[in-house]
Structure 1
Amino acid sequence: MPAARGRYSKRAIGAAAIASLAAIPIAGCTNSPSIGVLGAYFPDWLCCIVAGVVLTVVIYLILKRLQADHLMGPSAIVYPALVALLALAVWLIFFQH
């Protein structure tokens, strides 16, 4: 039975729904935040990770100098978590749009 004039088939409605749902995540890609460093552009999250690592190294050196590094718990868990925390904090402070 052919589709009546003015009515859409279930397949066409389903295809339109899938296409609109697929377009929603793509809408977030319209503006890519980047930072110009000596003529090259880097994404802001990359700079935040570098800042998180640098700040973690500074904290480690301060704790080592104060001989309080043994209070930090298991290093394999604490320092990667500190990198993530500091990277997210830098992003929130400098790059929140």
Structure 2
Amino acid sequence: MMLTGQTHSDQFGRMLRPSARHIGFCATPLLSGCAAQSAPTFSIFGAYFPDWMLCGMIGVAVAVGLRVLFLISGIDSVLSLRLFTYVSLGIIAALLVWLIAFGP
């Protein structure tokens, strides 16, 4: 039933407008990843740092080290997508450290 002055697009827009109840219901599955355990951290001089930060720093160091090694050996001049190569090598190194040190 349409009221005077309302079009079908007004009614359709009102039906699609999310309410707080709908947003809360849809956000509930996203919260299922939260656990009662603490986040994976390690202590350095009393301050807690997340493990992913250590893995990221190791990944950056590996990528820089491989760049220097590739420059010395001449492989760097052959690479066509250098940025993506070094970023992916750093990510691979970080994920391997995460898997070996903190994985299942």
Q: Secondary structure at the match of 2:49?
A: strand
CA shift at 1:73, angstroms? 2.5
Distance 2:42 2:80 in 1: 36
Q: How does 1:2-17 map to 2 (within 5 A)?
A: none
TM-score, structure 2 as length reference: 0.64
Aligned to 2:100: 93
Counterpart residue number, 2:50: 43
Cα 1:66/1:36, change in 2 over 3 Å? same
- Matched with 1:25 is 33
Matches within 5 A, 1:36-75: 36-75=43-82
**Could you tell me how far apart the structure 2 residues matched to 1:85 and 1:30 are?**
27
Q: Which runs of 5+ in 1 are unaligned?
A: 1-17
1:79 equivalenced with 2:86 (yes/no): yes
Contact 2:42 2:48 survives alignment (8 Å): yes
Superposed CA deviations along residues 12-56 of structure 1, whole A, max 9, x for unmatched, are xxxxxx5974652323x6331101112211000010000000011
Distance in 1 (CA, whole Å) between partners of 2:29 and 2:64 is: 43
The answer as to whether partners of 2:63 and 2:90 remain within 8 angstroms in 1 is yes
Q: Judging changes above 3 Å, is the alpha-carbon distance between structure 1 residues 21 and 64 closer, same or farther for their aligned structure 2 residues?
A: closer
Cα RMSD, aligned residues only: 2.5
Q: Percent identity?
A: 30
**Residues matched between the structures, number:** 81
Q: Which whole-Å CA distance do the structure 1 matches of 2:62 and 2:28 have between them? A: 43
The CA deviation string for residues 68-97 of structure 1, in whole angstroms up to 9 with x for no partner, is 212332112111111111110110011114
